[in-house]
Amino acid sequence: MKHIFINKNSQVRSGWKIASTWCSFFFGTNLLVGIILAGYLLIMLAIKGLPSQSNNISSYINNITGLNSNFAMFLDLVQCISMIFFVVLFWKAYTGTRTY
């Protein structure tokens, strides 16, 4: 069972490195973007208020967030930066290189 994770040189196999990097990027980015989006939504709801009819809340949220605008480009930028961050973080962790 040990040989599934570690090769004959006592190193973690590259597939597991790629999988752990991807999973941490996926969950870390979703957490970060979710926090940013929830904060933005709460601010917009505080500024513009709730609609008078509750049956149209999803279209109202889509209208006030404007995810086809500059805010969506900002979220894309956050996602790209976090991908670079996680790749560099895991590259440093797996190779053991330190920069001081």
How many CB atoms are closer than 10 A to CB 57?
11
Q: What is the largest CA-CA distance in the chain?
A: 66
What pTM was computed for the model? 0.59
How many whole angstroms separate alpha carbon 48 and alpha carbon 96?
50
What percent of the chain is predicted at pLDDT more than 70? 74
Residues 32-65: tens digit of each pLDDT: 888 988 888 788 778 877 666 656 667 766 666 6
State how far Cα 84 lies from the chain centre. Answer: 11
Per-residue pLDDT band at 89 (split at 50, 70, 90): confident
Q: Identify the sign of the CA torsion 53, 57, 59, 62.
A: positive
> Residue ranges per domain, the chain?
15-95
